[in-house]
Amino acid sequence: MHLEIDSLYKTYPGDVRALVDVSLNIGPGMFGLLGPNGAGKSTLMRSIATLQIPDSGTIRFGVTNVLDQPAEVRKILGYLPQEFGLYPNLSAEVTLNHFTTLKGITDRAERKQVVESLLMKTNLWDSRKKAVGGFSGGMKQRLGIAIALAGNPKLLIVDEPTAGLDPTERHRFQNLLAELGQDIVVILSTHIVEDVQELCNEMAIIDKGQVVLHGDPRSVLDEARGRIWRKRIPRDQMTAYSEAHSIISTRLSGGQPLIHIWTDLDPGDGFEQVEPALEDVYFHRVSAGKSGPLE
């Protein structure tokens, strides 16, 4: 099944435009949604998850009208928000048993089998008797995914799932998401560009409520190839280079700014061409605020 989003608009009080004509067609697999804080990602996720009603537009998942049939959508939806609450004194096993009951699995034997399977899938079996208040951030995120997977969802939404995780937990969580994304629609909303480049077969960048790029990460990188140049410059020349070039990112390297610029022509002046990373495309799109195909 495909998730079809057509002409979605949402404006908050104070004329804050959270979504502006957002249209996306998302098929099975991992779909990455990138954007800076306040770009509209969470508003879009909440709208898909039937937690918020947009001002106008439509969302369909297969034959189901998401906005008109929220109860039907929730039967096949798994949702892991950026922040979620857990009872700290309950064990992972008891917590998951509670949520599977809420998902409609009332038969005790079936529920026990589902809980055990999810604990194994999320690598929490050995910690199933421990109180979740003592869990690490990554363990809590994996329990959140287990909760989201209860009921065998066809559509899974995860909002900033790896933010704040250490490298080991982040890698483990990435592997889990990649495995899940083989059979269902998984939407990964994040500001961590590397997660999208490593996990997703399709992506979009949203900025100021608008989709400024939509495509396959590999094709996006192919189109950016030959356009990314870098140079280490003295600190006191930063202003001059900013005026002369379209700088897309700056970071300190050896105590000096290392700038990346986007240009079709060799800028000379000691710049070296580099292989593009998805981060370069992201910074270019967000800073430029452009839409449509790469130029």
pLDDT of 157 > 50? The answer is yes
Query: Which single residue is written with the structure tokens 């399709």?
Result: 202
Question: What are the pLDDT digits (tens) for 24-38?
Answer: 999 999 999 999 988
Q: What is the mean pLDDT of residues 81-89?
A: 86
**Both structure tokens of 5:** 């989003």
Question: What 3-state DSSP class applies to 256?
Answer: strand
CATH superfamily label, 3-216: P-loop containing nucleotide triphosphate hydrolases (3.40.50.300)
Split at pLDDT 50, 70, 90, the class of 288 is low
Question: What are the pLDDT digits (tens) for 179-201?
Answer: 888 889 999 998 889 889 888 99
DSSP 8-class letter at 15? T
In whole angstroms, what is the distance from residue 142 CA to residue 147 CA?
9
Strands (E), the chain: 3-12, 16-26, 29-34, 56-61, 64-65, 77-80, 155-159, 185-190, 202-207, 210-215, 228-232, 247-253, 256-262, 272-273
DSSP 8-class letter at 199? H
Would you state the pLDDT for residue 292?
A: 39
Q: Which residues of 46-79 are buried (b: 16+ CB within 10 A; e: fewer)?
A: bbbbbeeebeebebbbeebebbeeeeebbebbbb
Q: What is the pTM of this model?
A: 0.86
Would you state the pLDDT for residue 291?
A: 40
Would you state the pLDDT for residue 294?
A: 37
pLDDT of 287 > 80? The answer is no
β-strand partners of 230: 260, 272
In whole angstroms, what is the distance from residue 103 CA to residue 76 CA?
10
In whole angstroms, what is the distance from residue 225 CA to residue 278 CA?
11
